Amino acid sequence: MSNVELSSFLGQWLPRVEDEMKNVVTQHEATVAPHYGMMRYHLGWANEALQPQLYPSGKRIRPMLCLLACAEVGGDPVQALPAAAALELLHNFSLIHDDIEDGDEVRRHRPTVWKVWGIPLAINAGDGLFALAFAAIQRLRDYGVASRTTLEALGIFTQTCLTLTEGQYLDMSFETREIVSVNEYLQMIQSKTAALLGASTAIGALLGDATAEGVRQLQAFGQASGLAFQIQDDILGIWGDPAITGKAAGNDLLRRKKSLPILYTLNHDHVGEQFETLLDGSFHAEQLPQAMRLLNQAGARAFAEAAVQAEHERSMAALHNALGDRAEGSTLYALAESLLNRRT
């Protein structure tokens, strides 16, 4: 499967996912229209005056994984559209709440929902998206999906919601802890990032009528791809090109973010204490070169890149188990390769 064919699939189905999401995120009574307007603003469909206008809205990886998995096992992606929309709405609910919990004022180059309308209304808008995600996945019945299959998909979806909150708990708890191990970090991103990507491929495979083993293997593919995606993001957060990422060089260091390269260095026998002392002080941009030298001395980038490669290989093994000899020619393979080699 070439990148051209993958682009063709994405070009065909991304607009349909957007339409399905818009059908769910509707204005009801005029008195609560701003409530839904805040959701549309976050999703990139409205400006701060809540008037229709399109903005960057994220990569939409999760719904695409769902539709691609459905297609690759022989299903009709049309039937998976409600689930694809539900997965993206769930992801965006978590982002609204993440922005509040992390105090982030900007997302996708615009003020976050809480920054514009305040924390109470932003929490409520996030709660609304959470409820709409469940409303969206229940539309599977309207697309001809059997009730039993709909319930199975809903079961995966519900467990994933709980897992997301576990991952967010771990993430927030790390902020007040002096010591966080690399293994603890990997457990956190498994829950916070990888679980939802795994659910996306599992639900897509289920709706495509894959075998139970096929569903399990494609879920493993999604989870490993999610881990590789997050660790690659950690690498870009320190060593990414600002002209491409849109973020300052060493951005994660300046934010004192507990990402994998930073935790690896903090736990390093030889430079960990020195690195911790540097970050614990009034760390500022002028000290970035010193911090970068310590990261390099610890071999943090090489460690993180090896972790990305290991997870990518694990994802490819699961994909081969699910699709056999068709794996390397599949759209899922092409998407995983594109995520592995991304620069933003």
For residue range 16-50, list pLDDT tens digits in order. Answer: 999 999 999 986 667 899 999 999 999 999 999 99
CA atoms of 127 and 329, how far apart (whole Å): 40
pLDDT band at 2 (very low <50, low <70, confident <90, very high): low
Please give the C-alpha separations between residue 213 and each of 146, 192, 319, in angstroms, as whole numbers: 20, 24, 12
Buried b (16+ CB within 10 A) or exposed e, 299-309: ebbebbeebbe
DSSP characters over 125-188: HHHHHHHHHHHHHGGGGGGT--HHHHHHHHHHHHHHHHHHHHHHHHHHHHTT-S---HHHHHHH
| 8 A C-beta contact, residue 228 and residue 340 | yes
pLDDT, mean of residues 105-130 = 96
Q: Are strands 110-111 and 106-107 parallel, antiparallel or unpaired?
A: antiparallel
CA atoms of 191 and 228, how far apart (whole Å): 13
pLDDT band at 95 (very low <50, low <70, confident <90, very high): very high
Collapsing DSSP to helix, strand or coil, 250 comes out as coil
Residue 29, pLDDT score: 67
Residue 246, pLDDT score: 64
| 8 A C-beta contact, residue 159 and residue 203 | no
CA atoms of 32 and 148, how far apart (whole Å): 35
Residue 62, pLDDT score: 97
Q: Is the pLDDT of residue 329 over 60?
A: yes
Residue 152, pLDDT score: 98
pLDDT, mean of residues 159-182 = 94
| 8 A C-beta contact, residue 271 and residue 306 | no
Residue 66, pLDDT score: 98
pLDDT band at 280 (very low <50, low <70, confident <90, very high): confident
What does the block give as tokens for 71? Answer: 């297609």
Q: Token match 């959701």: residue?
A: 39
Which one, of 60, 94, 339, lies nearest residue 227 by Cα? 339
Residue 45, pLDDT score: 96
Residue 300, pLDDT score: 98
What does the block give as tokens for 18? Answer: 């957007």
For residue 246, how many other CB atoms are within 10 A of its CB? 12
In CATH terms, the fold of domain 3-340 is Farnesyl Diphosphate Synthase (1.10.600)
Q: Is the pLDDT of residue 1 over 60?
A: no
DSSP 8-state secondary structure symbol assigned to residue 102: H
Q: Residue 62: which residues within 8 A CB-CB, separation 6 or more?
A: 84, 87, 88, 91, 196, 197, 200
For residue range 213-254, list pLDDT tens digits in order. Answer: 999 999 999 999 999 999 999 999 999 887 776 666 687 898
Q: Is the pLDDT of residue 69 over 80?
A: yes
Model pTM? Answer: 0.94
Collapsing DSSP to helix, strand or coil, 111 comes out as strand
CA atoms of 310 and 316, how far apart (whole Å): 10
| 8 A C-beta contact, residue 153 and residue 140 | yes
Q: Is the pLDDT of residue 4 over 90?
A: no
